[in-house]
Amino acid sequence: MKTLGVDVGSRYVKLAAYSGDEPVFAEMADTIAFYTACRTPAGLDLRRLDTFKNRPFDFDRIVSTGYGRYNVKLSGAEVISEIRAHALGATYQTGLSDFTLLDIGGQDTKVIRVRAGEVDDFVMNDKCAAGSGRYLENISRMLGVPPEEMGNHSQNPVELSVTCAIFGESEVIGNIAEGVAIGRICAGANLSVAQRLVALVRRFPSPAYVVTGGVAKNGAVLEFLSQKTGAAMTVPEHPVFNGAIGCALMHTARVQ
């Protein structure tokens, strides 16, 4: 059976295709570009994506999740919530069945407790971008430090506000004006994200912690999370595609 999982996130749309248990491809597109390319009078048509220019669109099942999940109007497409998609993706990718999952996305963070392979409970961040990927992205742009380098900084963090993403940015400008080293500011931003997350993670103490989403690629955030929780953070092979993988594999026996 060929399956396609689609995670329509706030920043990127992630696609994961499988043939049975075997991965076929995983690709992502900018969310705005995705909507522009795929919009048709009848709804969104995935076939118009560059991904399918030189590939057949021959899936037996398509499952979508994410904010735009209901817009992906394709015949036979199934819709599941992000909580379920991420829990399934992490279960599949790590082989664990009892763990707490932190999915740190573009605009929100989900902390999900999985027990015996099922979602047991979950919390999400409140209506604020502090502690999300978007916050780190803004700081990286302001500092001119590429996102992939942000995670190299964990030494001697400068103190930044953890209460508001916007005020956090003005604090960064203040720090630059005072001549604080860029590395320390990056470390401070990473620390403030971790601090924000720890408050959510503490709700669900667990034998294992799994981190997914774009921020899972930030080593400094992971380091701070480990320091604050006293536990190791497991990052699966494809942290960014975790939700799409959960969608693609929800019908296979191995996940269920």
Partner 1 sequence: MKRIGITTTVPAEFIFAAGAAPVDLNNIFVAAADPGGMVERAEADGLPRAVCGWIKGMYGAALSCRLDSVIAVSDGDCSHTRTLMEILGEEGIHAIPFAYPYDRDYGLLKLQMEKLAATLGITFADALAAMRKMDAIREKLHRIDLMTWRDNTVSGFENHRYLVSASDMDGDMERFGKQVDAFIGEARERAALPQKIRLAFIGVPPIFTDIYQFLETRGARVVFNEVQRQFTFPSDTDDLVERYRRYTYPYDIFSRIADIKSEAEKRDVHGIIHYVQSFCHHQMEDVVFRKHLSRLPIMTVEGDGPGPLDARTRLRLESFCEMLAAKRAAKAAS
Residue among 106, 119, 108, 71 nearest 246 (CA): 119
Binding mask 129-148 for partner 1 (x = CB under 8 A): --------------------
One residue of 4, 38, 74, 83 binding partner 1 per CB under 8 A: 83
Per CB under 8 A, 119 contacts partner 1: yes
In the bound state with partner 1, the residue whose beta carbon lies nearer, of 88 and 185, is: 88
Closest approach of partner 1 to the CB of residue 173, in Å: 24
Residue 81 contacts partner 1 per CB under 8 A = yes
Q: What is the largest CA-CA distance in the chain?
A: 59
d(CA 225, CA 220): 9
- In the complex, least distance from residue 118 CB atom to partner 1, rounded to whole angstroms: 6
Q: In which residue are the tokens 């979508």 written?
A: 64
Tell me the number of residues near partner 1 by CB under 8 A: 16
Which residue's entry shows tokens 């909507």? 35
Q: State the minimum distance, in angstroms, from the CB of residue 255 to partner 1.
A: 13
Under rule CB under 8 A, residue 122 binds partner 1: yes
Question: From the CB of 206, what's the least distance to partner 1, in Å?
Answer: 16
SS3 of 193-208: HHHHHHHHHCCCCCCC
Contact between 92 and partner 1 per CB under 8 A:
no
| Cα→Cα distances 147→155, 163, 197, Å | 17, 22, 19
